[in-house]
Amino acid sequence: GMTTSFADASRYIGLEPDGPGPVATCYRFGQPTFTADARTCSTMARRGLAAEYDIESICCIPVEGGVLEFGTSSGPETSFWKGMPNCPDMPKDEMKKALKRRRAVYMIFWQLKGDNYTVTADFVTPEHERAMRNRYGSKRSFASLSRSIIVPADGDNYIARAARSGKEFVIEDAAVDKKLQRQKLAKKYGIGEIHIVPCEDGVFEYGKARG
């Protein structure tokens, strides 16, 4: 089986900001774009990659400093989008604060799917990504590995507690906080302070490098 994802593989694809593709169009006009079948879309520069990873529909929404992309794969185990889905309400002001004031090196958006919270979007700064690649020789990061984490909505974890209470949680040092489900990952990948922020359509998480 594949050892990387469409998201990981896309990190090494350069897209022209004035190009005709859905990402560039979303960025230029500040409006969401929807691609029904990324594998056959003529303006999709990564259509070959989408076919390789069996990615079907893609939605792009503008966010602070760029574009957030999310989508579906083909097959009965995933959603089927007939048209533009209801895009999550991203906390744009909080994202701006995370990057510009808090010096965050990653951001994650958690959404409730059934009885659990899962990662539906994530971002790692290029500088932190390079640092992790130089250290470990791979594309993995704290954010990318968090995609495989399932967080029970009724559990005593930070994500669920923030969602239920409507209050932000600040983890001062994630590498040593035993209450954090991903504490060992945080220690390995050099993550220190983490902010868990509830918002309208989910829970926004961002963190700083340790030390």
Number of H helices, E strands in the chain: 8, 9
State which amino acid sits at residue 173: D
Predicted pLDDT at 84: 83
User: What local confidence, expressed as pLDDT, does residue 69 receive?
Assistant: 87
Tell me the three state secondary structure of residue 170: strand
* Pick from 142, 177, 140: nearest CA to 158: 177
Is there a contact between 100 and 111 (Cβ–Cβ < 8 Å)?
no
Structure tokens at 204: 């926004």
Q: What's the pLDDT score for residue 3?
A: 65
Q: In sequence order, what are the residues at sequence separation of 6 or more whose Cβ sits closer than 8 angstroms to the Cβ of residue 172? A: 192, 193
Question: Which helix (DSSP H) or strand (DSSP E) does residue 194 occupy?
Answer: strand 191-199
Q: What is the pLDDT of residue 62?
A: 86
- d(CA 130, CA 87) in angstroms, rounded, equals 30
- CB atoms inside a 10 Å sphere around CB 138: 12
CA distances from 22 to 43, 61, 122, 144, 147 (A): 7, 10, 19, 23, 24
Maximal CA-CA distance, the chain: 49
DSSP 80: -
Give pLDDT, residue 12: 81
Q: Which residues of the chain have pLDDT under 70?
A: 1-3, 76-79
pLDDT recorded at residue 83: 85
The per-residue pLDDT for 78 is: 66
Write the CA distances from 34 to 10, 21, 29, 98, 186, integer angstroms: 18, 11, 14, 27, 34
pLDDT of the residue at 77:
58
Torsion of CA 70, 75, 81, 85, to 10 degrees: -30
Beta strand 66-73 with 33-35 is: unpaired
pLDDT at 151: 95
Which pLDDT score, from 0 to 100, does residue 139 have? 78
What is the length of the chain? 211
